[in-house]
Homo-oligomer: A and B are copies of this chain.
Amino acid sequence: MGLRHTLDFLLYDWLRAGELTSRSRFADHSRETFDAVFDTCERIAREKYAPFNRTLDIEEPRFDGEKVILPKASKEAYDAFAASGMLSAAQDYEIGGMQLPYTVESAAHTFFAMASVSMGSGMLTVGNANLLMVHGTELQKSVFALNEFSGRWSGTMCLSEPQAGSSLSDIVTRAVPDGGDFASDPLGARYRLKGNKMWISAGEHELTENIIHLVLAKIPGPDGKLIPGTRGISLFIVPKQLVDTQGQLTGVRNDVALAGLNHKLGWRGTTNTLLNFGEGKFPVQGQAGAIGYLVGRPHEGLSCMFHMMNEARIGVGMAATMLGMAGYHASLDYAKNRPQGRLVGPSGKDASQPQVRIIEHADIKRMLLTQKSYCEGALALELYCARLVDEQHTGEPGAANEARMLLEVLTPIAKSWPSEWCLEANSLAIQIHGGYGYTRDFPVEQYWRDQRLNMIHEGTHGIQAADLLGRKVVMAGGEGLRMLALRINGTIERAIQRPEFAEYANALGGALQQVGAATKAAWATGDAREALANAVPYMQAFGHMVIAWMWLDVALSIPAGAAQPPAHVGRLAATRFFYRYELPKIGAWLNVVSSRDATCADMPEEAF
């Protein structure tokens, strides 16, 4: 089925996104306005993104000493995207937004991610501006956020440093007050920043007239020393070009310089940079140090940043999902057209049979159905999470709180599961292409390379797992996990009503019980070292349980009946596949969690 068909079903038939229009914020909307957004995004993705995905891979960003050079297609895609208004799709009408539900915005982004994930669709710019809308002053909003939503400027998130990636508490970028009047700058308390920021996506380019960096840095204490740990971290707006209170460029370049481009395995359409802040390459008023305006209060930078984390992580999960989907569709197309081999007969190979297309071979079908169950299952989860974001923002207080708690538990899965399993899907897409899949004449090898980033950025797999087992399932006395179990049990109860789903309902109930028991067993001694030693296998099992739940819940929105249209036959087969081939894997993962197996943790370094 095409992506649009799948989205329509998941959004309208399953998630009942149409009902969101009964809420006051979305009252002007209707399925028609949602569909018009999808039409526009689908068209831009088809015309401006898809044809250039390989171009981005081949014409990697390069620095000529003065500026970063990107393929022409990047600028054209960026302009078309910005012109569509999607950068402010979720914002209020009064600042030029569309007041679209996040669910619809997320679904609209799938077209871009599938067409060319590294061309990007402004996720960082939107995240940057959203953060300012929550934590910025009125002037910071109007000067910075609004110019980002309009597409005039773009934004970055500058967290990592060469020596501090997963461990942000070790950042050493310093911010010191800039002059005696530093506190009275209308754009925010003014500091001078010095330090290096690593892995900064879109950190330097010519797509927009300005780049607004949001930078984590430490304000030294009275003794001049940096405060250890994350408490010392504050957040600053550091524009590449300095601007006035009207949002006009002053013509003064800020002291932010490109130190180097990272040459990546994939995802090459997005420039990734090492930036030097305040090294003196572009001194401001004769002085080294990048000008930065404090956002929020000092020492609360990390919590400002983490405010946006759930949506950023759902965004990564959605990108991973759509890369998987791109490979699935490419390999499905190939399998339908490539003649090779003959069908196995009852007695084995049968050379007298006519040649067939490879989609007729059972093992090719297995690889396609695996991809379908992974990618469409992941898409269901991402949309489900997006719907929870809407509930959190526009639901009744009780429902909003439940949605918030569910999101806390589900976000590590929404981020990690597609990153891991849609990578496997991309590998299967290569496999279906045989030798051709290993060449650059087909797109699947690029999807696989692009995909490999997703287990690394926005919190590695290990970080997600520690977050899930170390915080999310135990927070508030396990309330988040309990709420999730209630929802899963709700699905099970509805499924038990339908005999054809009884097998799945039982299996899902068993899985939920196993995961619950493993959670308790992991924490039985109360020692985090024992509990977390196998956090990744725990997350793998948890994720498989969640996707199994998604599939059963999706299947329940298919009306009962013996004769189903092909799309429903496919969904029911993907559900069956997931329950028969995938869900049983959780036993092996949970074994080591439940026994708090210390084989890995106890391994002495010299024995490797």
Interface, chain A (partner B; CB < 8 A): 1, 160, 163-167, 169-170, 198-199, 228-230, 262-266, 332, 336, 339-349, 351, 355, 359-366, 368-369, 372, 423, 427, 430-431, 434-435, 437-441, 445, 448-449, 452-453, 455-457, 460-462, 465-466, 470, 526-529, 532-537, 566-567, 569-570, 573, 576-577, 580-582, 584-585, 587-588, 591-592, 595, 597, 599-608
Is there an interface contact between B440 and A456, defined as CB atoms closer than 8 Å?
A: no
- A575 smallest CB distance to B (angstroms): 10
6 new A-B contacts at CB < 8 Å, known A345-B528, A348-B528, A366-B601: A361-B462, A365-B600, A438-B452, A581-B588, A584-B588, A585-B585
Minimum distance in angstroms from A461 CB to a CB of chain B = 7
A449 to B451, CA, bound (A): 13
Q: Which 10 A-B pairs have the closest CB atoms?
A: A570-B607, A584-B588, A366-B600, A362-B601, A229-B351, A569-B607, A167-B341, A348-B528, A362-B533, A363-B462
Q: How far is the CA of A361 from the CA of B170 in the complex (A)?
A: 17
Instruction: Closest B residue to A535 by CB, please name it.
Output: B363
**CB-nearest residue of chain B relative to A332?**
B608
Stoichiometry, copies per complex? 2
Q: Are A346 and B527 in touch, CB under 8 angstroms?
A: yes
Q: Is A166 a contact partner of B368 (Cβ separation < 8 A)?
A: no
* A167 vs B435: C-alpha distance when bound (angstroms): 13
Q: How far does the alpha carbon of A230 sit from the alpha carbon of B350 in the complex, in Å?
A: 12
| Contact flag A608-B372 (CB < 8 Å), given A170-B355, A434-B166, A456-B437 | yes
Given the complex, which residues of B lie within 8 Å of A362, measured CB to CB? 529, 532-533, 600-601
Of all chain B residues, which has the CB nearest A229?
A: B351
Known contacts A440-B265, A591-B584; A359 and B605 CB within 8 A of each other: yes
* Contact partner, A342, options B167, B431, B440, Cβ 8 Å: B167
Contact B580 A592 (CB under 8 A): yes
B445 close to A265 (CB less than 8 A)? yes
Cross-chain contact B567 with A580 (CB below 8 angstroms): no
Assess the A439–B265 pair: CB atoms within 8 A. Answer: yes
Tell whether, in the assembled complex, residue B604 and residue A576 are in contact, meaning their CB atoms are under 8 Å apart.
no
State the CA gap A338–B598 with chains docked (Å). Answer: 23
Q: Say whether, besides A532-B344, A603-B573, A608-B368, A430 and B452 are in contact (CB < 8 Å).
A: yes
Which residues on the B side are within 8 Å of A360 (C-beta)?
605
- List 9 contacting pairs A-B, 8 Å CB cutoff, sorted by A: A167-B342, A264-B440, A344-B470, A346-B526, A348-B528, A362-B601, A431-B461, A570-B607, A573-B603
Of the listed residues A348, A434, A566, A599, the one surrounded by the most CB atoms of chain B closer than 10 A to its CB is A599
Contacts of A462 in B (CB 8 A): 361, 363-364, 431
A346 to B528, CA, bound (A): 5
Shortest Cβ gap from A278 to chain B (Å): 23
Q: Distance (Å) between the CB of A587 and the closest chain B CB?
A: 7
Q: In the bound complex, what is the Cα–Cα distance between A169 and B339 (angstroms)? A: 13
B591 pairs with A588, CB closer than 8 A:
no
CB distance from A214 to the nearest CB of B (A): 19
Q: Min CB distance, A240 to chain B, in Å?
A: 22
Residues of B within 8 A of A470 (CB): 344, 348-349
A80 to chain B, nearest CB (A): 28
